[in-house]
């Protein structure tokens, strides 16, 4: 298991002074843009501390845009549903959830986390952002706030279904379970406001979730491997099984036909992505896995402008 809340907090405190800005029923109502578009990622080339350059490119690595920002891996920038904005964790000391335009201009502060925030993800209507703090919070662009998942649920990430009527959260273990025992990890399927848990799916060490654009699958990361989950039945299928390689950060293409993810050598650890991370893709069934040749960790994927 990797990327725990405690690690993020310790990591952020170390970096604070140095981070700078240089079921078809869930289908989305708007059209998708195919598996082309722009892939947003953090390039960790040469990094020794988990901070890298925010960039975007085509899925084949062409047309690279460097945003001139150095961000930690846990900032996990995310394109808005219409592709015009990016939510990210940044600010002067890296403790703020922020929004900027997709070209890197126009920073807008949303909230400072009560603890170190991470993994911001947009609501399907583009009017609010979920983020991990001491639980899962929601901050609206209008300043409204709510709690989607309480701290005692020990959730590290959230992803809405395309319709916004359901929310998936990932917990690596029950809060009462001592580290490193992650056998009690799980995915929770909640109501869209997070208040009602409709289904609990056991998945030891679960740390990341990404709901597919058609609403039929959830990609999840757990114990350094990737899984595909049916949110309606709770069935779980493992699509990578590589003890000496870490697969992480599953990211759907806009049309849901592909998944981008990070690959790096090493056994399951708690250290986060490293400079060795490369971006790979697979099809929606977990097949045809291959490297894109891009260095870094994928965080979001939008349709072509």
Q: How far apart are CA 143 and CA 125, in angstroms?
A: 15
pLDDT at site 192 = 98
What percentage of the chain has pLDDT greater than the value 70?
85
Q: Which two tokens stand for residue 217?
A: 């699958």
Q: How far apart are CA 227 and CA 282, in angstroms?
A: 12
pLDDT at site 234 = 98
Q: How far apart are CA 4 and CA 26, in angstroms?
A: 30
CB-based contacts of 190, cutoff 8 Å, min separation 6: 148, 149, 166, 167, 168, 169, 196, 197, 198
CB-based contacts of 17, cutoff 8 Å, min separation 6: 93
Q: How far apart are CA 266 and CA 140, in angstroms?
A: 38
- Token pair 């400079």 is found at 275
Q: Which two tokens stand for residue 246?
A: 């870490």
Its pTM stands at: 0.89
CB-based contacts of 25, cutoff 8 Å, min separation 6: 163, 215
Whether 99 has a pLDDT exceeding 60, the answer reads yes
Whether 96 has a pLDDT exceeding 90, the answer reads yes
Give all strands of the β-sheet with 297-302 in edge-to-edge order: 65-72, 51-57, 38-43, 297-302
CATH number for the domain spanning 20: value is 2.120.10.30
Residue with the bigger pLDDT between 18 and 160: it is 160
Question: CA angle 231-167-196, nearest 5°?
Answer: 95
pLDDT level of residue 31 (50, 70, 90 thresholds): very low
Q: Which two tokens stand for residue 57?
A: 């490119």
- Token pair 């209008």 is found at 142
Whether 22 has a pLDDT exceeding 60, the answer reads no
pLDDT tens per residue across span 144-198: 999 999 999 999 999 999 999 999 999 999 999 998 899 999 999 999 999 999 9
3-class DSSP assignment, residue 11: helix
Q: Which two tokens stand for residue 244?
A: 């000496």
- Token pair 């945003």 is found at 67
Question: Count of domains in the chain?
Answer: 1
pLDDT tens per residue across span 200-241: 999 999 999 999 999 999 999 999 999 999 999 999 999 999
Label residue 278 exposed, middle or buried (CB < 10 Å: 0-12, 13-18, 19+).
middle
Structural domain containing residue 196: 5-302
Whether 85 has a pLDDT exceeding 90, the answer reads yes
3-class DSSP assignment, residue 24: helix
> Residues of 11-31 as b/e, b for ≥16 C-beta within 10 angstroms?
bbeebeeebebeeeebbbeee
């Amino acid at each position: 298991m990797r990327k725990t809340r405690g690690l993020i907090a310790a990591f952020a405190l170390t970096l604070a002074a140095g981070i700078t800005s240089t079921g078809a029923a869930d289908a989305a109502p708007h059209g998708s843009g195919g598996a082309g578009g722009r892939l947003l990622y953090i390039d960790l080339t040469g990094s020794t501390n988990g901070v890298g350059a925010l960039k975007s490119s085509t899925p084949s690595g062409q047309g690279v845009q460097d945003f001139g920002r150095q961000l930690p891996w846990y900032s996990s920038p995310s394109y808005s549903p219409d592709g015009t904005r990016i939510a990210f964790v940044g600010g002067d000391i890296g403790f703020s959830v922020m929004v900027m335009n997709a070209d890197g201009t126009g920073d807008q502060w949303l909230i400072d986390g009560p603890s170190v925030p991470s993994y911001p993800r947009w609501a399907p209507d583009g009017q609010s952002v979920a983020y991990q703090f001491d639980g899962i919070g929601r901050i609206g662009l209008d300043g409204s706030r709510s709690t989607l998942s309480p701290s005692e649920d020990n959730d590290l990430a959230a992803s809405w279904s395309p319709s916004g009527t359901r929310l998936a959260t990932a917990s690596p273990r029950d809060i009462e379970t001592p580290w490193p025992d992650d056998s009690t990890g799980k995915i929770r399927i909640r109501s869209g406001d997070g208040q009602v848990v409709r289904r609990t799916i056991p998945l030891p060490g679960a740390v990341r979730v990404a709901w597919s654009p058609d609403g039929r699958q959830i990609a999840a990361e757990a114990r350094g491997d990737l899984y595909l989950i049916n949110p309606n039945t709770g069935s779980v299928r493992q699509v990578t099984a590589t003890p000496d390689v870490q697969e992480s950060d599953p990211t759907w293409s806009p049309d849901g036909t592909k998944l981008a993810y990070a690959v790096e050598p090493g056994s399951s650890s708690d250290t986060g992505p490293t400079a060795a991370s490369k971006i790979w893709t697979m099809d929606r069934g977990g097949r045809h896995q291959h490297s894109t040749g891009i260095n870094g960790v994928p965080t979001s994927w939008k349709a072509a402008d």
